Amino acid sequence: MSFTALQAMKAYGDAISTAKVGGGGAEGGAAKVDFGKMVQDAMGTIASDTGKAEQLTAASSVGQADLIDVVAAVNKAEMTLETVVAVRDEVIKAYQDILRMPI
């Protein structure tokens, strides 16, 4: 299954809205999002996008690929990585907010 930046943002938004609506309990639907699977898919997508960009760069250096294709592939890999990093930062921020909550 291919995991795109748009899917990552949608899954993150769905998880946030489900947690707010469901009150954070497991019966509220928060268990529907498998965060581990989402991260695993994102890492696979980053690896494949980066690999494709590297292959096109190598092919371009010997004249077998267009520069436009190389730039598009590198841009796609960069956007995917930036999206995953942004989601990671938000998850860390949420975790830190939970740690700061008084018991």
pLDDT digits (tens, 9 = 90+) for 60-92: 989 898 999 999 999 998 998 898 888 889 989
- Domain range enclosing 28: 5-100
CA angle 15/17/18 to nearest 5° reads: 65
Report the number of distinct structural domains present in the chain. 1
Most confident of 7-16, 25-34, 92-101: 92-101
Q: Under the phi-then-psi rule, with left for phi > 0, alpha for psi from -120 to 50, and beta for the rest, what region is 62?
A: alpha
**pTM score, whole prediction:** 0.59
Rg for the chain, CA atoms, rounded: 18
Using DSSP, how many helices (H) and how many strands (E) does the chain show?
A: 3, 0
